[in-house]
Amino acid sequence: MKKYLLFVFVLLLMGCDNENFSNNNPYLPNYSFTYNINMNLPQYSSLQFPSNAVYINAGNTGVRGVFVFNTGSGYVAFDAACPNQALSSCSTMTLNGINIVCPCDNASYSLFSGQAAGMQYPLKQYRVEQLNNFNLRVYN
């Protein structure tokens, strides 16, 4: 019984580390970037409300830009490049409600989970830090 409790405790500790998540995908390179979002600006104001997303394609943000999404309990950011395709002319995803769709294979990925049914790799996720009520920082 003691070994079982120790094992469960170790698993819980390993599962609570937000700063060291795996973001590796053989199709998508890793780029370091930081992008600040002011939700008082018109192009980002929809992020103040749950279930809204914005696409950001500013210089060096991600591989093909970044989708930032308000889950209602926080914010998530995912790369706009199709995670199960080599980079090509069709590998920039498009927003469709609470999903983003890869035009290469029509796979639909949930912005809540980053997953698509039957696909090997989830969306490439980036970190989001809420600086205050109206400012976010997305970074890798």
Domain extent listing, the chain? 23-139
Query: Is the pLDDT reported for residue 104 higher than 60?
Result: yes
Q: Identify the band that residue 114 occupies on the pLDDT scale cut at 50, 70 and 90.
A: very high
User: What is the side-by-side strand order in the sheet with 34-38?
Assistant: 34-38, 135-139, 125-132, 75-79, 66-70, 53-56
* CA torsion through residues 37, 96, 27, 89, sign: negative
Separation CA 113–CA 111 (nearest Å): 6
Q: Identify the band that residue 59 occupies on the pLDDT scale cut at 50, 70 and 90.
A: confident
Q: What is the pLDDT of residues 121-135, one digit of tens each?
A: 999 999 999 999 999
Q: What is the pLDDT of residues 22-47, one digit of tens each?
A: 678 999 999 999 999 999 999 999 99
Separation CA 31–CA 59 (nearest Å): 12
Per the model's pLDDT, the better-predicted residue between 9 and 92 turns out to be 92
Separation CA 134–CA 65 (nearest Å): 21
Reported pTM: 0.84
Query: Which among 64, 14, 33 is positioned nearest to 127, based on CA atoms?
Result: 33
Region 65-92: what's the mean pLDDT? 96
Domain at 23-139: CATH code = 2.102.10.10
